[in-house]
Amino acid sequence: MCLGIPVRIEEIQREKGLVTLGNVRMEVNLTLLADDLAAGDYVLVHAGFAIAKVDEREARETISLIKGMIADEVCR
């Protein structure tokens, strides 16, 4: 099973983007979507590549679900 994580693009420098999720900042490859992205957009990231652009509402809902799953695992 593969999991794409929604993240927010903070900066774009050619085919690379600096993204954030909570306190985590990392660089991802934007090559697959580079022509259609801007700072502030949300993308799904898998294995260091942005694979799809998603709207902010969908991204926030997914992030909330992931946080809930993690909390359930930690609180057992």
**pLDDT given for residue 58 in this prediction:** 94
CATH number at residue 35: 2.30.30.140
The residue range of the domain holding 52 is 5-74
Q: At 67, phi and psi to the nearest 5?
A: -60, -40
What tokens were used for 6? 């929604």
pLDDT tens readout for residues 18-70: 999 888 899 999 999 978 899 999 999 999 999 999 999 999 999 898 888 87
Residue pair 10/71 in contact by the 8 Å Cβ criterion: no
pLDDT at 66: 86
Q: Is the pLDDT of residue 73 over 70?
A: no
- Work out how many domains the chain is built from and give that number: 1
